[in-house]
Amino acid sequence: MKDIGKTRFDSERKQMVLELGRKGITDQKVLDAFLRVPRHVFVEDAFQDRAYGDHPLPIGLGQTISQPYMVALMTQILQLSGTERVMEIGTGSGYQAAILSGLVEKVYSVERIKKLSERAEDILLHKLRYRNIILIVSDGSYGLSQYAPFDRIIVTAGSPPDVPKALLSQLADGGRLVIPKGDRYIQTLTVIDKKGDEFITSYEGGCVFVPLIGKYGWNE
C-alpha cells in the first residue's frame, strides 16, 4: 500500500512540475527542486489528496502553505547559484525552506508561531533530515542580526508598504530581497537589490499572502 501511495504522489508531483513549467517557471534547477520535495508531507492529512494542486492549503493556526507557483516564482527570482546564505521570514509549513535547502548553502528560517516552527522542525529535520536548515522562533520583522548579512532574503508573509529596515540592513552587498508588500490582504511582489549603498526596487505583479505580524509589520 505504501508503495502505491508513493507512486501516486510521484506522478502527481511530476504533473505539478509540468504545470509550473507551463505557467512560466523556466529555471531547471528550481523545477528539479520541486521534483525532489514531497509536498504531501507538509500538508495536513485531510488535504493529502490536494497536495499537488497549484493552490495554497491551510496548515492550522490560521496559516497556509503557499501555492506552488508562488513558491517557485519567488525561488526563481532569487537567482540562486548554490553558495548563498538565505534568510526566510515565515517558516509556516517548512515547504519553501525545503525547496531552498537543495539550492543554497544554508537556510535560516524564522517563524513567530512556536507551534508551527515545531511542526516544521519535525518534518524538515526529523522526518526528511535536511541538514542545512536552521529554524528560529522570533518576530522576523527584526530580521536575524546574529546571522547577518544574508545573500538573499525571502519574506513569505505580506509586509506593510515600508519594508522593515532591519531586513534591508541585513542584506549583503550584491544581495537580493524578495518581499510581498502593500495592503494587509493583497500585495505586490517586490524585489530589492542592494548595490553598494543603493537599493534598487522592481515589481513582479500581484500576490496574496497572510500578513507579516510584528513590530515592523502589521498589528495582530
Catalytic positions: 66
Is 50:72 a contact under the CB 8 Å cutoff?
A: no
Question: Does residue 44 belong to the site contacting ligand SAH (CB under 6 A)?
Answer: no
> By the 8 A CB rule, do 218 and 212 touch?
yes
Shortest distance, position 174 Cβ to ligand SAH, whole Å: 24
Binds ligand SAH by CB under 6 A, chosen from 95, 108, 130, 150: 95
Rounded to 5 degrees, what angle do the CA atoms 179, 170, 189 make?
Answer: 10
Quick check: helix, strand or coil at residue 106? strand
Q: Which of residues 112-131 bind ligand SAH (CB under 6 A)?
A: 112-113, 116
In this structure, what DSSP letter does residue 103 have? T
Can you tell me which of 92, 143, 175, 180 binds ligand SAH, judged by CB under 6 A? 92
| Bridge partners for 199 per DSSP | 194
Q: How many residues does this entry show for the chain?
A: 220
In the complex, the smallest distance separating the C-beta of residue 190 from ligand SAH, rounded to whole angstroms, is: 16
Query: Does position 64 bind ligand SAH by CB under 6 A?
Result: yes
Q: Which amino acid is at 214?
A: G
Nearest distance, CB of residue 4 and ligand SAH, angstroms: 27
| 59 burial level (CB within 10 Å; 0-12, 13-18, 19+) | buried
Q: Can you tell me which of 25, 37, 57, 65 binds ligand SAH, judged by CB under 6 A? A: 65
DSSP character at residue 211: B
Stretch that binds ligand SAH, among 84-92, 122-130, 166-174, 190-198 (CB under 6 A): 84-92
Helix, strand or coil, per DSSP, at residue 202: strand
Minimum separation from the CB atom of position 63 to ligand SAH (A): 4
Identity of the residue, 144 or 192, whose beta carbon is nearer to ligand SAH in the bound complex = 144
Q: Which is nearer to ligand SAH, 71 or 192 (CB)?
A: 71
| Number of shown-chain residues binding ligand SAH (CB under 6 A) | 25
Min separation Cβ 38 and ligand SAH, Å: 13
What's the angle, vertex CA 191, arms to CA 53 and CA 160, rounded to 5? Answer: 85
87 forms part of the interface with ligand SAH (CB under 6 A): no
Residue 158 touching ligand SAH (CB under 6 A): no
Q: Report 131-150 residues binding ligand SAH (CB under 6 A).
A: 139-141
Is 180 near ligand SAH (CB under 6 A)? no
Residues 181, 205 contacting (CB under 8 angstroms): no
Say how far apart CA 152 and CA 103 lie, in whole Å: 12
